[in-house]
Structures are given as C-alpha cells and as structure tokens.
Chains A and B, each alone.
Chain A
Amino acid sequence: MEFVIISVIGVLFGCGTYLILQRHLLQVVVGLSLYSHAANLALLVSGGLKRGNPPLLTTDAPYVDPLPQALILTAIVISFGMTAFATVLAFRVRQVYGSDAVDELAGGEE
C-alpha cells in the first residue's frame, strides 16, 4: 500500500513540475496545488500506513500514530490559503496586464 501512495506522490510531483514550467499563471497555480497534495500524501506515509486502534492510552493493542494526521490537517489549511491567494493574484495579473502569460509581464522597472 505504501508503494502505491509513494507512486502517486511521484506522479503528482511530475505533473506539478510540468505545470509550474508552463507559461500561463493559472497552470502554475494548479501545479503548485498538485505539489501541496503530494506533500500532504508524503506526510501521511511518514507515520506508516497500518490498521490499528485509536491512539488512546487505555488501549494496549498497536495504535495508529495520530501526529501525521494533525500535521496534514495544518498543512491542508495552509496550502488552501496559499492556493486561494495565488489564484486571486493570477486573476489580478490578468486584469492589470490583460494576459496571464508570465513572459508578458513587463513594466514598473523604473
């Protein structure tokens, strides 16, 4: 199971890198959000994927490490905010420049 998740992380990173290298800002933003999904999955794998009991002190059977899930929750919120900001920024660039191609953003040098 871990192998499958790790492969998915690899594919997400590949697609994200491809999109970040594109000309249009919206594609870059989608690429960044794929990156953050890949990072979240990596956090999930870091605790080990296994079945077990809830992490309560009263149970003595093997339990699941709760920390990665707490970390992912935080990371999801952060990447959500960042993606929202990046989307608005791309939209504003489109409004100001009339284009969202990164090689057409000139002006403001002096």
Chain B
Amino acid sequence: MGEAGDEYAIAIGIIITALVILLLVAGITLSFFMINKEKSSKAIALSKARLSYEKELRIVENELSEHLMQQFGRELHDNIGHLLTCLRLELENRKLDNESLFEEMSTVDQYLDQTTEQLRLLSRSLNTDYVTKNGLVKSITLEIERYRQLKKFDLQWKHDYHNGTMDSNQELMVFRIFQEVMNNAAKHSQAKAIALHLVGNETFELTIQDDGVGFDTKAILSDGRASGLQNILKRADMAGLHCLISAEIGEGTSFHITNSTQKKIN
C-alpha cells in the first residue's frame, strides 16, 4: 500500500510538474510578446521619425532644386538671351554694311534662330512660375515643341486633361517627372518614337512610352546607378502618385504615373 502510494505520488508529481512547466512556457511566451511589443513600438516610432525627417529633407531638396532651376531659367532668359540678341543685332548691322553677307550668313541666321527659340523654350520650362501659371498641358506641350525642334524622335501627344484634377504642386511634380523621363529617353533610350498620353478627370494618368533599347529596372534601381529613376519615384511619392515603370531590354520603356492605388515596378 505504501509503495503504491509512492508510485501515485510520483505520478501526480510528474503531472503537476508538467502543468507547472505548461504555465511557465505560457508565461515566458507572453513575456516575449510583451518585451518585443515594446521593442516593436520603439522601432515603429523611430522609423516614423526617420520617415518624417526624410520627407522634410525631400521637400527641402525639392524646393532648393526648383529655386535653382528658376534661377537658371531666368539667367538663360535674361543673360544668354540678351547676349544672343546682341549677336543678332551685330549680325544684322554687318549685313547692312555688306550686302554680300546676306547670302553667306543665311545658315548662321538659321542656327541663331534655332538657338534663340530653344533657349526661350528651355528657360520657360525651367521656370516654376510658368508651369504654375499655364498649367500642365501647356507646359508639356511647350516642352514637346522643344523636343520636336531637336528632331531626335517622333513625338505623339494626346491629352484629355481637365484643370483641377490635381493641385499646382502636383502638376509641377508631374511636369518635372515628365522632364526627367524625356531627358532619360533623349540620353539613353535610342528611341525613334515616343508616345505621351495624359488623362485627367476623376483619375489622373500620364503614360510615356518609347520604343528604345529598354533596361533592367530592378538591376538599375538596386545598384544605385539610376539617380534619374530614383528622382522620378521620389517625386511621384512626394506628389502622392504612383509610378509604374515597365521596361525590358530591347522592348522599350513605359512610365505610367497615376493617382490610383496600383503600384508596381516591373
């Protein structure tokens, strides 16, 4: 009887130990959660602070770059434009002095006209006030006109945009994105044709598609070479827009900027 009692005491002891361990494990797991929850909330607060700092930094960067572009545009218009006007006057004076120069200087005349026109368009496109005052469609049209004169590629431009779809800051951002995309296309794409389509009523969509050499988006974005692409994504993010970049080597490139919730990089 005594032995049997001992055996059962051992059995009950084992069961109680198992139950105590069970409770202990539950307690330990709960404490892990609490410790890590605290860590997690601290990490979230830190990352929020970092995000807000980065956002502020981007805004400052953007304001600075807009200011610089505006100044640059004004300098181009006032200074270089003035010098070109002087050059034109000088040329006209020389031609008046010597009539034979009319024929000889005709090519120089043409180049001078083109340079003046390009300068005028460029200085306007760099001017923030111009974009804000004239709106997105007119500003893009002006920039397209400038590219058409360069005769680098065929440009197809379709738009159905109602003013008020976006505020002036967003429009300025979209215009800068458009400029960056066009600049990239002119420098790297070897494209023969670029199609642009702007839609803005309830939703906003801007599609810029070229038939150039394309690129590996993920590789370029991950190795940090593409500051232009990074700028495009940053600007889109700042304007609360989504930028879809679809590119494949040999298959051309397409930028799709929208205010809808789709966001993807191919």
Same complex for A and B? Answer no
Interface residues, chain B, CB within 8 Å of chain A?
none
Interface residues, chain A, CB within 8 Å of chain B?
none
